[in-house]
Structure 1
């Protein structure tokens, strides 16, 4: 491990576990070694596999009463760090607190390094939630406990960036500047001025300089830090959270004096884009290696690049400890430099031989001018970035149309507003009365806070592209009222009072972008080649024998039915493991009618273009030449890692193999989607939460979406929350009854407005029961990607 040979280390640890198991199943060494194995797997970026190993280690220790319970302390804090790296901070806090509790209850020696590591893991979880007071309390306890081990304290905690930022956050600026100045000097001596750890420390020193009033030093250190850190390939070993803290502080500093300076706004625009692009890269780069099996040369290059990157990260961690311990680190430095040069050469070769792949996983940030050049005259782009205290918005039109806004809405406050608005889309039951009211007043206030100032740029445009960051990525902006509106009293039919609300959807078509540069990539593809058929569709899959037997069951017309998928991912209760397989997924018989109606609207034959029930299976999907279809539709459940046993990547649920008589596992996974060859204007994912976050970050487009883009889709129709079946049918079929659905965002808006103004659910007697004007019915669908065909 110290040499960065993680694959060899993993192999040896697996052999050790096998040997201990053969010797004695209850051996106390098994959970310890399995926990170390989890660490090594995590170092390679296989986080879900690492989590599974960490859970198995803890379960073994808990089940074996003969194992000293203090062993579970290190197992727990290692598990908490894996959760932190997945962004599951609150879970990590509980696990790290449990680890600290184990050491305390078992009277662990005060100067135990593992006890200190557990406290630091808890401090990391607190830091990621902005609770820096507790961070300082924990680090003070660590320093007191290791008072007699100053060398070991310096080795593990002397240059701790979380502690340094906590000092800044709590106003101990003089102490922070002194500590960080020392750290920067040590890192320059030991690792060099261009090392990412040195740049990270300079970035934090810049923040401390700025807060302390030393603007000259702040500017110098910000420039030196960001010159290195803005390049993802040079950020190896730097926590994304720390990079965001540096960038957000720079945003605050520059925007405070920039006004509407295009030059400053452009620099911040590109920085925000680099942050957004790093999330895309994290989400798909590992999948790309598996998806590249059709190109052995690319697969080999990717494997070499990943191996080099992992070894660099491991060796840099080893280097930090070696320097602090006073060990000669010359050989390690040479190895790191050699690997960095090799990695750069491999990346250059990938970019030259496979430019499309390189652009997908590592797109270059676009400038405002570049964005203006790809927009049509009736289009506008809104890019957002939400920091701790403010939200930054760039509104860009063609020509020189531009506005930069800084709204006083920080991450937590915006998150609360979004959660309040989204609560209207989460019924507490299946009855109509369980649907909450939509907070029209709050929606308009949020619109005013974020978009009113730039109205002169966007209002006259027909279509809005939005590349949203953070909480705003989980709210379709189409539901925001553009004017103040007093809701009338309730009237018949139910929900009809929403018909007159001035939702943004009434005036503008909206499309979502995973990043600004993705629009450029999509528009550089060019016009589709060859003759294409209108539609191929798959839906209403069979998951169990019981569902097949009950297929004739009718859906009640007196209650609301949603395509909701109960989440099977268990909470981090280490004594209880949930189990779920494909057979437990609820059926979706109503999707058959939806796909058939789309086929009818497009004038295509259902029998040869719509595949339902047992025919909606993996073999059928993969047997078609999918690049000969303009529209590819899937009406089924969208799954995320953890929904089913062993599921480690996003997937679409198809018919169970034993019911359809085919091979496979019944799941069309992200890497399988990336291996498809598409040439589609539309990919429709008419399912539950296919547009939700997939665990890699809070973006508005799921891993499934990115996979379909990689495969050749130009736009996706996805859902933000469980959809009610009757309105979903009317909405999706309404799109393709539009006069011009080549304007995809426009066709979606037209169908939405039709539901708001005319959509009515009638019972079997023909009586009007409720209106579809409530946003729960028309707003779940969003278009992701290019909004039209040129």
Structure 2
């Protein structure tokens, strides 16, 4: 983050507003104290403001009790101070409590509720939880439009905040007219020289700047700076914000000599006004270091980067180029530069799937059965509380007439019970298991620690992606290398999307003049870009472990091509057989993060499952078809239709619109054949295969899944990507005639996380469960995260819609090979199965990658 679109600080208007301090309706003496706290906050004197705000809250609670609107306002004030210091973890519960009080006392339809809703939305926005922020911003805006009229300053402030959210999502066409509307409101209400007007000018200038319209942006940002210097004084933190933004504009234009003194002055102001630990200071420090590096002044940039790393506020886009240059210029020892870089990458790219693997590791490493059970209980309670909290916030954003008061009261009571139980658990951890805290907060691994986890025939590759460039790290048991990659996030996403366009089975009928077929030249270009720089270190290792991020999570690495092909698109399918696929050279395992390697290898379960496989497939989406027998299975689908709709498309009130869902989902009778074939091959009992109406949520939840080495789902997935609100990624199972909370036909990610597994494999076949709706979505989120959390060691998941015959053949072949040679390892067994399919000349299409290469192994690919 270089510079900033930001929210209007409406305290400048002496009005209760989203990022300003509310003015409680208490006695004059308390009002004076509020004004003093407000002034200290504006000056960045948080060390003085926070004790006053806490004292004010304590006094009001003592005088009025916990459920009072003035208490809510005081909670909001204290939360805002915490937010200004980057202490969101402390601010969030205060804001939620304030909202609950107002909801109870007067409802959330009056203008007094808008500040709290806005403030919580702003907190979510800072945490990049945009899907959570938008409905709260919208709710606050709707309240103010109705209560205050079209020209009230508080309405302008809400308009600005929603526009700020849109701008962070690169929705310039939505943000710019809102910013201009808010500017007109503020200029009319406060005059053209007011600080709030400066904020709007800055925001419009930022929109112009990021779209490359520098000539239009500069006068807007310069006018914003002039207003702030005149109204606030030259040493005010808001002046530093304008300086930072103007400096960024000059840097983008290559005007480094103009940019540098502005960045330096912004650093000095923020250091003096905000102190050494404030997040805004870290932004300015990162920007100054980035400028120095752009000027080739690594020696000046390095100490700044080391300061931000030590504080935990480094930016990947800044730190990695500086550390790489420092290593090459011998300003840092190579080992120190690499370990610092790995520290930055591991902290910046920790995915939710990796977090789930680590949580599982914490439970497994807990050692004693009692501690493991307590840890699992605490984690489950935290997940439950998060889900309830989100549902309550969603309810609070609705009109009261559409809400279920009894259900909300029950949810709040459950939250209180969870809080009490978790507090008790924390006391138990502290008294009985003092080493637990260190275990549950592992530090990033050094290069030597990663190398020690790798076998002699393994290579691990990590990626970091920034806006303008990316980085690749390669490690083997006895070697390391890292370098930059000349593609940023946008360019990589575009190339991955183009790569995947050739993997649609529906288009793969023949190879004569088909423009949409798989592009071997692009596959080779991506190999040369991503792995070529470290090829000498990794090429001779039998097994390749990849930890991708961003759009790279949607890239099937085993389909990269290691040598230039004779033609980008062969004349016939047979031409694909001879391509230099990476898979011919190495097996590939995908890791959610570097830390996943330690989680799976140091803390892996040792006990074996007692039964080979249980499977769920051919679910019944339309209950009226139950008992239809042959009529239902008469038509076999050559390829299963891909369904990647958002869960919300089928959500209606508190449940699923079963009619719409059934209409959208084609039946999957071919998956019954798939599961039966796999079960027969592995010697699984027929009673362990659940088909038709029996492939239900109820069956899954009641099964003793920990008894099975393989848990197999052959059904549609509603995947992550644009999921919003109450929606979650989910697997679609049989839809019951009478849906309930226990069984509504959708096994959601949160429900998966509550399963108890001990599985070597979880197979997700029939949908592109690895990828979100577009490259760049966190492909290992949602379902994969949940299955890791539940206890899966590895997932076999599909990158795209899978041909049923191919799915059966690939999975049975993989399991057969592993059964014949348990020391082979999961990744190598999958590799051999795919290569056997590729080499089979009995059908021309066997050579086409959409058929033989849909699966990827996520997690531990080595032998147990």
For the structure 1 residues 41 and 422, does the alpha-carbon distance in structure 2 shift closer, same or farther, using more than 3 Å as the test? closer
Among 405, 408, 415, the residue aligned to 2:486: 408
Distance in structure 2 (CA, Å) of the matches to 1:413 and 1:252: 22
Contact between 2:675 and 2:689, CA under 8 Å: does it hold in 1? yes
Post-superposition CA distance 1:122-142 (Å, at most 9, x none): 666788889888765653453
Contact between 1:723 and 1:777, CA under 8 Å: does it hold in 2? yes
Structure 1 SS opposite 2:816: coil
Counterparts of 1:151-230 in structure 2, within 5 Å, are 154-156=236-238, 158-159=240-241, 164-212=247-295, 214-229=297-312
Residue 778 of structure 1 is matched in structure 2 by 852
Over aligned residues, Cα RMSD in angstroms? Answer: 4.7
Residue 598 of structure 2 is matched in structure 1 by 520
Among 134, 143, 148, the residue aligned to 1:51: 134
* 1:3 CA drift (Å): 0.4
Residue 170 of structure 2 is matched in structure 1 by 90
Q: Does 1:597 align with 2:672?
A: no
Residue 635 of structure 1 is matched in structure 2 by 714
Q: Does 1:458 align with 2:538?
A: yes
Residue 821 of structure 2 is matched in structure 1 by 740
Residue 338 of structure 1 is matched in structure 2 by none
Post-superposition CA distance 1:445-503 (Å, at most 9, x none): 22223333433322222110011233333211111111222149866xx6333122121
Post-superposition CA distance 1:134-166 (Å, at most 9, x none): 765653453466676345994545336555444
Distance in structure 2 (CA, Å) of the matches to 1:555 and 1:403: 56
Post-superposition CA distance 1:33-52 (Å, at most 9, x none): 76556446667886534333
Structure 1 SS opposite 2:701: helix
Residue 549 of structure 2 is matched in structure 1 by 469
Distance in structure 2 (CA, Å) of the matches to 1:373 and 1:460: 18
Structure 2 SS opposite 1:187: helix
Residue 334 of structure 1 is matched in structure 2 by none
Q: Does 1:437 align with 2:510?
A: no
For the structure 1 residues 101 and 262, does the alpha-carbon distance in structure 2 shift closer, same or farther, using more than 3 Å as the test? same
Structure 2 SS opposite 1:776: helix
Q: Does 1:483 align with 2:552?
A: no
Residue 244 of structure 1 is matched in structure 2 by 316
For the structure 1 residues 413 and 444, does the alpha-carbon distance in structure 2 shift closer, same or farther, using more than 3 Å as the test? same
Contact between 2:642 and 2:768, CA under 8 Å: does it hold in 1? no
The answer for unaligned runs of 5 or more in structure 2 is 1-75, 80-90, 363-371, 387-422, 650-656
For the structure 1 residues 401 and 169, does the alpha-carbon distance in structure 2 shift closer, same or farther, using more than 3 Å as the test? same
Q: Does 1:276 align with 2:349?
A: yes
Among 324, 332, 340, the residue aligned to 1:267: 340
Residue 583 of structure 2 is matched in structure 1 by 505
Contact between 1:565 and 1:586, CA under 8 Å: does it hold in 2? no
Residue 721 of structure 1 is matched in structure 2 by 800
Q: Does 1:543 align with 2:621?
A: yes
Q: Does 1:422 align with 2:505?
A: no
Counterparts of 1:88-127 in structure 2, within 5 Å, are 89-91=169-171, 93-103=172-182, 109=188, 110-111=192-193, 117=199
Counterparts of 1:228-377 in structure 2, within 5 Å, are 228-229=311-312, 235=313, 243-251=315-323, 253-254=325-326, 257=329, 261-277=334-350, 298=378, 353=433, 363-377=442-456
Distance in structure 2 (CA, Å) of the matches to 1:395 and 1:348: 42
Larger Rg: 2
For the structure 1 residues 643 and 591, does the alpha-carbon distance in structure 2 shift closer, same or farther, using more than 3 Å as the test? farther
The answer for unaligned runs of 5 or more in structure 1 is 230-234, 236-241, 307-342, 571-577, 761-767
Post-superposition CA distance 1:222-247 (Å, at most 9, x none): 22222112xxxxx4xxxxxx723332
Distance in structure 1 (CA, Å) of the matches to 2:775 and 2:377: 28
Distance in structure 1 (CA, Å) of the matches to 2:627 and 2:158: 47
Contact between 2:357 and 2:596, CA under 8 Å: does it hold in 1? no
Residue 831 of structure 2 is matched in structure 1 by 749
For the structure 1 residues 103 and 147, does the alpha-carbon distance in structure 2 shift closer, same or farther, using more than 3 Å as the test? farther
Task: State the aligned residue count.
Answer: 711
Q: Does 1:149 align with 2:231?
A: yes
Counterparts of 1:8-87 in structure 2, within 5 Å, are 9-13=95-99, 35=118, 38-39=121-122, 47-56=130-139, 74-82=157-165
Structure 2 SS opposite 1:737: helix
Residue 312 of structure 1 is matched in structure 2 by none
Q: Greater shift after overlay, 692-701 or 369-378?
A: 692-701
Structure 2 SS opposite 1:536: strand
Contact between 2:343 and 2:446, CA under 8 Å: does it hold in 1? yes
Contact between 2:462 and 2:547, CA under 8 Å: does it hold in 1? yes
Structure 2 SS opposite 1:658: coil
* 1:437 CA drift (Å): 1.5
TM-score (norm 1): 0.76
Distance in structure 2 (CA, Å) of the matches to 1:537 and 1:35: 47
Contact between 2:676 and 2:689, CA under 8 Å: does it hold in 1? yes
* 1:586 CA drift (Å): 0.9
Distance in structure 2 (CA, Å) of the matches to 1:127 and 1:740: 60
Q: Greater shift after overlay, 367-376 or 728-737?
A: 728-737
Distance in structure 1 (CA, Å) of the matches to 2:199 and 2:211: 19
For the structure 1 residues 283 and 627, does the alpha-carbon distance in structure 2 shift closer, same or farther, using more than 3 Å as the test? closer
Among 689, 692, 717, the residue aligned to 1:613: 692
Q: Greater shift after overlay, 445-454 or 502-511?
A: 445-454
Structure 1 SS opposite 2:241: coil
Contact between 1:518 and 1:785, CA under 8 Å: does it hold in 2? yes
* 1:584 CA drift (Å): 5.0
Distance in structure 2 (CA, Å) of the matches to 1:661 and 1:21: 30
Distance in structure 1 (CA, Å) of the matches to 2:200 and 2:248: 19
Distance in structure 2 (CA, Å) of the matches to 1:351 and 1:208: 50
Distance in structure 1 (CA, Å) of the matches to 2:775 and 2:574: 39
Counterparts of 1:382-401 in structure 2, within 5 Å, are 382-398=461-477, 400-401=478-479
For the structure 1 residues 11 and 695, does the alpha-carbon distance in structure 2 shift closer, same or farther, using more than 3 Å as the test? farther
For the structure 1 residues 396 and 39, does the alpha-carbon distance in structure 2 shift closer, same or farther, using more than 3 Å as the test? closer
